[in-house]
Amino acid sequence: MPIAEINFDGIIGPSHNYSGLSLGNIASATNKGLVSHPRAAALQGLEKMRHNIRLGLAQGLLLPHRRPDRAWLTKLGTTIEHVPASLRPAAFSASAMWAANAASISPAPDTRDGRCHLTVANLRTMAHRSHEWPETLAQLRLAFAADAFTVHPPVPATFGDEGAANHMRLSASHGAPGVEVFVYGHRGGTYPVRQHEEASRAVARLHGLDPERALFVCQSEAAIAAGAFHNDVVAVANEHVLFCHEQAFEDRPAFYADLKRLLPEAEIVEVPASAVTLEDAIRSYLFNAQLVTLPDGAGMALILPEEARDTPSVWRWLETMVAGNGPIRRLHVVDVRQSMANGGGPACLRLRIVADPATVDARFLVDEAKLDRLAEVIEAHWPEAIAPNDLLEPALWAQLDGARAALLQALDLAELA
Ligand code: SUG
The answer on pLDDT for 132 being more than 90 is: yes
Q: Which of the four pLDDT bands, split at 50, 70 and 90, describes residue 1?
A: low
Average pLDDT, the chain: 98
Q: What is the C-alpha separation between 369 and 329, in angstroms, rounded?
A: 29
Is residue 348 among the annotated active site residues? yes
The answer to whether 308 touches 289, Cβ cutoff 8 Å, is yes
For 135-161, b where at least 16 C-beta lie within 10 A, e where not — what string?
Answer: bbbbbbbbbbeeebbbbbebbeeebbb
Over the stretch 54-102, which tens digit does the pLDDT of each residue have? 999 999 999 999 999 999 999 999 999 999 999 999 999 999 999 999 9
The answer to whether 236 touches 289, Cβ cutoff 8 Å, is yes
Give residue 81's pLDDT: 98
Active-site entry in 16, 250, 332, 348: 348
Nearest residue to 89 (alpha-carbon basis) of 399, 389, 398, 404: 389
Active-site entry in 230, 240, 245, 381: 230
- Backbone φ and ψ for 233, nearest 5 degrees, come out as -85, -15
DSSP string, 346-409: TTTTEEEEEE-GGGS-GGGB--HHHHHHHHHHHHHHS-S-B-GGGGG-HHHHHHHHHHHHHHHH
Residue whose CA is at the smallest distance from ligand 1 atom 10: 348
- Dist. CA 151 → ligand 1 center (Å): 24
| Average pLDDT of the segment spanning 224-241 | 98
Domain coordinates of the chain in residue numbers? 4-416
Which of the listed residues 105, 191, 342, 349 should we mutate to test ligand 1's pocket, taking the one with most ligand atoms within 8 A of CB? 342
Over the stretch 377-407, which tens digit does the pLDDT of each residue have? 999 999 999 999 999 999 999 999 999 999 9
Positive or negative, the Cα torsion across 177, 5, 346, 267?
Answer: positive
Question: How buried is 297 (Cβ within 10 angstroms: 0-12 exposed, 13-18 middle, 19+ buried)?
Answer: exposed
Give residue 84's pLDDT: 97
pTM reported for the whole predicted model: 0.98
CATH for 4-416 is 3.75.10.20
The answer to whether 199 touches 186, Cβ cutoff 8 Å, is no
Check residue 98 and give left, alpha or beta (phi > 0: left; psi -120 to 50: alpha).
beta
Active-site entry in 5, 162, 180, 307: 162
Give residue 151's pLDDT: 99
Give residue 80's pLDDT: 98
The answer to whether 61 touches 364, Cβ cutoff 8 Å, is yes
| Average pLDDT of the segment spanning 327-335 | 97
Q: What is the C-alpha separation between 344 and 340, in angstroms, rounded?
A: 5
| Average pLDDT of the segment spanning 202-223 | 98
Give residue 358's pLDDT: 97
Q: What is the C-alpha separation between 186 and 194, in angstroms, rounded?
A: 9
Q: What is the C-alpha separation between 344 and 95, in angstroms, rounded?
A: 9
Over the stretch 140-194, which tens digit does the pLDDT of each residue have? 999 999 999 999 999 999 999 999 999 999 999 999 999 999 999 999 999 999 9
Q: What is the C-alpha separation between 235 and 288, in angstroms, rounded?
A: 7
Q: What is the C-alpha separation between 350 and 305, in angstroms, rounded?
A: 13
Cite the beta strand spans of 14-148 per DSSP E. 58-62, 103-106, 116-120
Q: What is the C-alpha separation between 32 and 42, in angstroms, rounded?
A: 19
For 34-44, b where at least 16 C-beta lie within 10 A, e where not — what string?
Answer: bebbbbbbbbb
Residues 327, 227, 5: CA angle, nearest 5 degrees: 35
Verify whether ligand 1 is closer than 6 Å to residue 343 (CB atom): yes
- Dist. CA 353 → ligand 1 center (Å): 21
Helices (H) and strands (E) in the chain, counts: 14, 15
Strands 116-120 and 103-106: antiparallel
Quick one: which atom of ligand 1 is closest to the CA of 126? 1
The answer on pLDDT for 2 being more than 90 is: no
Give residue 224's pLDDT: 98
Q: What is the C-alpha separation between 340 and 337, in angstroms, rounded?
A: 5
Verify whether ligand 1 is closer than 6 Å to residue 100 (CB atom): yes
Is residue 230 among the annotated active site residues? yes
Nearest residue to 161 (alpha-carbon basis) of 106, 230, 65, 217: 230
Nearest residue to 166 (alpha-carbon basis) of 227, 114, 105, 250: 105
Q: Which of the four pLDDT bands, split at 50, 70 and 90, describes residue 298?
A: confident
Share of the chain above pLDDT 70, in %: 100
The answer on pLDDT for 124 being more than 80 is: yes
| Average pLDDT of the segment spanning 95-113 | 98
Quick one: which atom of ligand 1 is closest to the CA of 89? 17
Verify whether ligand 1 is closer than 6 Å to residue 233 (CB atom): yes
Residue whose CA is at the smallest distance from ligand 1 atom 6: 344
